[in-house]
Amino acid sequence: MVAEHHPRLAGHPAACLTAAGRIAGLLAAYLLLVLVALMARVPWLENRVGSDTVARYHRSLGEYTVALAWPCRADHPRLRLSGP
């Protein structure tokens, strides 16, 4: 059950943990999607910015993604399962 459908659970700590788990999963998926898009050799992006710049962005964003997503690999399911 989702906390939005149960007003009595809206401020419950379990609902907050569920929301944190959802956000962790969405953030990790979004960052990985951006990383794939950067190295997909999209013509308009390479023509506008340049392939070397796109590769540099990919590398720096990849380091941040690993630093952020590595601790979240266990937090997402744990937070999702501890909710209501």
Residue 36 lies in a domain: yes
Residue 8 lies in a domain: no
> What pLDDT is recorded for position 77?
67
Residue 72 lies in a domain: yes
Please state the domain count of the chain: 1
Give the residue numbers spanning the domain of 56. Answer: 29-84
Residue 81 lies in a domain: yes
Q: Which residue has the higher pLDDT, 11 or 65?
A: 65
Q: Which of 3-7, 10-14, 27-31 has the lowest mean pLDDT?
A: 3-7
**For the segment 64-75, what is each residue's pLDDT rounded down to a tens digit?**
787 777 666 666
DSSP 24-67: HHHHHHHHHHHHHHHTS--HHHHHHH-HHHHHHHHHHHHHHHHH
Residue 70 lies in a domain: yes
Residue 16 lies in a domain: no
Residue 68 lies in a domain: yes
9 pLDDT above the threshold of 80: no
**For the segment 16-75, what is each residue's pLDDT rounded down to a tens digit?**
777 777 777 788 788 889 888 888 888 888 899 998 998 898 898 888 787 777 666 666
